[in-house]
Structure 1
Amino acid sequence: MKRRDFVKNTIATSTAFYIVPSHVMGGIHTPPSDTLYMAGFGVGGRGEQVLKELYNTGKVKYVALCDVDDKRAKSTFDTYPNAKKYSDFRKVYGKHLKDIDAIMVATPDHNHATIAVPFMRAKKHAYVEKPLTHTIEEARLMTKISKEQGIVTQMGNQGSSSDGVRIAQEWIEAGVIGKITKVDCWTNRPVWPQGFKSSPEGEPIPDTLDWDQWLGPAVYRPYNSAYLPFKWRGWWDFGTGALGDMGCHILETPFKTLKLGYPTEAEASCTTVWSGDFVEANYSEACPPSSIVRLKFDTEAHGEINLNWYDGGVMPKIPTELQEGETIGDSGGGSIFYGEKGIIVTDTYSENPRILNYFKDKVGELPRPYLKRVKGAIGGHYSNFVDGCLNGAETTSPFSYAGPLTEAVLMGNLAIKAYQHKVLKSGKKVGDWDPYNYPGRKKIKWDGENMVVTNYPEANEWVKSIYRKGWELGL
């Protein structure tokens, strides 16, 4: 199937008569209330684990599995021998659209929307790994399609199904530590190489890899082992850096508990590299080794909230009230909520919320639990999606929620790119460089409703998606 014809067909499908799967008509399959028939894309690596978790619900059968790397996906292919195997997602669409109820996408970030959107337009339920998309525009589109088609959706940020985020939300909504003014979040990422000045030279493509399919909508470049597996996260064309990798896990806690919505401002500063006597933070193609991002939100319950993000070994200030034996976060990161009457800290994935001991006799009374828990907590994130598809249960991270969360995370990346862009233009000498006072520190003003940067026009090109010719999404 030619790519041009594929795009046309997928758009037409969204308005065409919906073909009922054979199992609904009394075919050889069991009733749809008992089994969810799925196709998986990006089934090696992280995708293998997601497929396993979904399969372990006892209610999922895989009709087709798709991966561009036969070697990396071999274990998955061997585990589900009855599923049809593909390297081109378009063939799955062309041959199995009538046979499936839902899809799972765990490819690199830049392929999430390219694969998910056609199936979503055909009314297929969708489980997509975090971050939901590669760009803000794609996140907005997938949020819109999910609503229009009335499908069940879930992003792979498992912490949204945890008890921890519900406990933190109950405490904050009850005013236990008063109004929140600031939240500090951080991660131990990147745990992959980051901060390259330019793309590496080409290498021979492994026989087991379909490199053109792996690139998908990204601008063509020669293959190099510096990109995969997993290392693609540090390259802007494919990934979204440390913030994109863990932001949907860690920022999820304040996003849900404080009902943050679209940020109004974003600002960043990143690792600076010196080349001779000149500043050369030349990461135009790659994410920086470390960064600090500051996001500002306007909320109904708390007013203005400043959210600060730290990665690459940079950490927030330790609260002076932290006592002997107490910790903030865990090895993967965490969040610190600063309230008028106390401080709440959480670990990665919203786990282990706690009030610093210094404030225990100063805060309000803890409320009784009232938010519905997800059976199995984080492991239940997958069964929650399956239950939503089969029985109409409300999922914990539907795209109506996950889309705006992803947009907030990617807004931070816009600020990082703006920093890089300004530094590249600066031409500053070492003696003239002041990292706390230069044009790159300018705040980005964001009109979330209209999806526009209002004070830095250059940044708007990063809001939208650029697709390689023949791989257009039809936005």
Structure 2
Amino acid sequence: APIAAAFIREKKHVYVEKPMAKTIFECRKLAELAKEYNIVSQMGNQGHASEATRRVVEWVRAGVVGNIREVHMWTDRPVGFWPQGDIQRPAGVKVPKNLNWDVWLGPAPEKPYHPDICHFVWRGLWDYGTGAMGDMGAHIYDAPLWALNLGYPKTIQATSTPYNSEYLPLAQTVTYEFPERYSRETGYMPPVKVKWCDGGLLPERPAKLEPGRRVGTVFYGDKGIMMGGNAVMPSLVPADPDFKGPDPWLERTGDIFEDWIGAILNGKKSCNDFSWASRVTEIMLLTNIAVLTQRSNTTLEYDGENMKITNLPEANNYFHYEYRKGWTL
């Protein structure tokens, strides 16, 4: 986030990978700066530009399965991809000559280098990453968030396997409650419950899902059930191969990187700019706050407008952290 912020202040267009930031404060600050300096921003969530995501939005908005009351999502990560859990950080070794470890650390606390921390596996450590939700949540959460016009959750509750001060838990389940919504574009939408599982934990299998058919992101409506989302075209449960769904109506943007370049060249807004990306990322990061405070046995109540947990004051300590000396946002 500090690097992106520095470029924005120089009025440079910015493309970041997901998650766009490590804390909710950083998310909001980057979105604020992108608007203030009028630059074209983009978060590299390829699924947002996909045909599958747009078809899911079109199906939900058309009421194919009625009003959605509950959504279940999951990923098997981090299992088989990077370590997480109640494990020890490896002892430090000599930094290779081709790596500036100080710059790599950025605002994170100064700690010894090890190759099992750097590169891909940093995702599983609190100092640098945001776990499986931060890695895959941007992909998986995007379609439901868009389709259902979800704003801030009203409550967040989480349980997880053991973790420690270095590593995030191996597996977790999270439940969000979103209030009713209304907009000119979508009309009225009722309250909805959203459940997330990762690390090998799975949501309930729909009773009507055919044997052998893989469970994806599941939308439970008052008129039926559908699945679809991250690069997965929507389908009914049980399947109906003759059902084609509503006519497409959303704009198709193509490749997300090309969309960003096109927005720069044509003076337009990109499809996944920081105003949208910060919304998706904030919900993902609320998961980690709920995990870190789960020992309180408190379902967190969130005042999103004021970026504040209202019923557990200590939870608000996790909205940002003190940067290492020399780094600012």
Superposition TM-score tier, normalisation by shorter sequence: over 0.9
Task: Report the alpha carbon displacement of residue 198 of structure 1 after superposing the two structures with TM.
Answer: 4.2
RMSD: 1.8
Letter of the structure 2 residue corresponding to residue 218 of structure 1: A
- Measured in 2, the distance between the counterparts of 1:443 and 1:311 equals 19
- Measured in 1, the distance between the counterparts of 2:100 and 2:245 equals 55
Higher relative contact order (CA closer than 8 Å, sequence separation 6+): 2
- Measured in 2, the distance between the counterparts of 1:399 and 1:257 equals 18
Task: Report the alpha carbon displacement of residue 392 of structure 1 after superposing the two structures with TM.
Answer: 2.2
Task: Report the alpha carbon displacement of residue 324 of structure 1 after superposing the two structures with TM.
Answer: 3.8
Letter of the structure 2 residue corresponding to residue 128 of structure 1: V
Give the match for residue 243 of structure 1: 133
- Measured in 1, the distance between the counterparts of 2:61 and 2:31 equals 26
SS of corresponding position for 1:230: helix
Task: Report the alpha carbon displacement of residue 244 of structure 1 after superposing the two structures with TM.
Answer: 0.4
- Measured in 2, the distance between the counterparts of 1:415 and 1:124 equals 35
Task: Report the alpha carbon displacement of residue 406 of structure 1 after superposing the two structures with TM.
Answer: 0.6
TM-score by length of 1: 0.65
Instruction: Confirm whether residue 319 of structure 1 aligns to residue 183 of structure 2.
Output: no
- Measured in 1, the distance between the counterparts of 2:89 and 2:284 equals 25
Mapped contact 1:244–1:410 kept (Cα < 8 A): yes
Instruction: Confirm whether residue 123 of structure 1 aligns to residue 11 of structure 2.
Output: yes
Instruction: Confirm whether residue 461 of structure 1 aligns to residue 317 of structure 2.
Output: yes
- Which runs of 5 or more residues in structure 1 are unaligned? 1-112, 272-280, 330-334, 423-438
Give the match for residue 220 of structure 2: 338
Give the match for residue 185 of structure 2: none
Greater Rg by CA: 1
- Which runs of 5 or more residues in structure 2 are unaligned? 182-187
TM-score by length of 2: 0.93
- Measured in 2, the distance between the counterparts of 1:231 and 1:130 equals 15
Task: Find the partner of 2:235 among 354, 365, 371.
Answer: 354
- Measured in 2, the distance between the counterparts of 1:240 and 1:470 equals 23
Instruction: Confirm whether residue 205 of structure 1 aligns to residue 84 of structure 2.
Output: no
Instruction: Confirm whether residue 195 of structure 1 aligns to residue 85 of structure 2.
Output: yes
Mapped contact 1:163–1:374 kept (Cα < 8 A): no
Runs in 1 of length 4+ with deviation above 4 angstroms? 358-361
- Measured in 1, the distance between the counterparts of 2:197 and 2:320 equals 25
Q: Deviation digits for residues 322-372 of structure 1, max 9, x if unmatched?
A: 02453323xxxxx1111011111115x2422111236789x9x93211111
Letter of the structure 2 residue corresponding to residue 408 of structure 1: I
- Measured in 2, the distance between the counterparts of 1:217 and 1:465 equals 9
Q: 1:132 to 1:299 in 2, by over 3 A?
A: farther
Give the match for residue 172 of structure 2: 291
- Measured in 2, the distance between the counterparts of 1:359 and 1:391 equals 41
Instruction: Confirm whether residue 371 of structure 1 aligns to residue 250 of structure 2.
Output: yes
Task: Report the alpha carbon displacement of residue 284 of structure 1 after superposing the two structures with TM.
Answer: 2.3
Percent of matched pairs sharing the same residue: 42
Task: Report the alpha carbon displacement of residue 201 of structure 1 after superposing the two structures with TM.
Answer: 2.4
Letter of the structure 1 residue corresponding to residue 326 of structure 2: G
Letter of the structure 1 residue corresponding to residue 307 of structure 2: M
Q: 1:444 to 1:359 in 2, by over 3 A?
A: farther
Instruction: Confirm whether residue 386 of structure 1 aligns to residue 273 of structure 2.
Output: no
Give the match for residue 429 of structure 1: none
